[in-house]
Amino acid sequence: MSRAGRRSQLLRAGSVPAAGGDCTMAPDPWFSTYDSTCQIAQEIAEKIQERNQCERRGEKTPKLTLTIRTLLKNLKVKIDLLKDLLLRAVSTRQMYPCKQTHPFLEWEEKQS
């Protein structure tokens, strides 16, 4: 799924008040880190696909393998940073969990 697809998923899920969601969130300092993490993951997938195509043609791929290895290290660093930012956001109450209700339970409440 593309970055734009993930972002629109968040908007539809109601995690952003500007989109009509019911969650209370401060400006997201982790969101740009999330975007760059997704971009690195996408780049890794593309490089792996390119390497596989080269291997099928019998070409040598040490440069691509090195690039993939470097990108994987960068991805690990970004994921660790993202975890820290998200934990900090939750612990400082900059981010609150959404109130989740089941549609059937809402229907039952309306009936009573």
For residue 95, the cross-strand partners are: 25
Query: What is the structure's pLDDT at 14?
Result: 42
Has residue 108 been placed in a domain?
no
pTM, two decimals, is 0.61
Range of the domain at 77: 3-98
Has residue 12 been placed in a domain?
yes
Has residue 87 been placed in a domain?
yes
CA–CA gap between residue 67 and residue 5 (Å, rounded): 26
Per-residue pLDDT tens for 37-70? 999 999 999 999 999 999 999 999 999 999 999 9
Residue 106: pLDDT band (50, 70, 90) is low
Residue 91: pLDDT band (50, 70, 90) is confident
The domain total for the chain is: 1
Has residue 106 been placed in a domain?
no
Has residue 105 been placed in a domain?
no
Which contacts of 64-71 are long-range, i.e. CB under 8 A and separated by 24 or more positions? 68/44, 71/40, 71/43, 71/44, 71/47
Residue 31: pLDDT band (50, 70, 90) is confident
Has residue 35 been placed in a domain?
yes
Has residue 50 been placed in a domain?
yes
Has residue 52 been placed in a domain?
yes
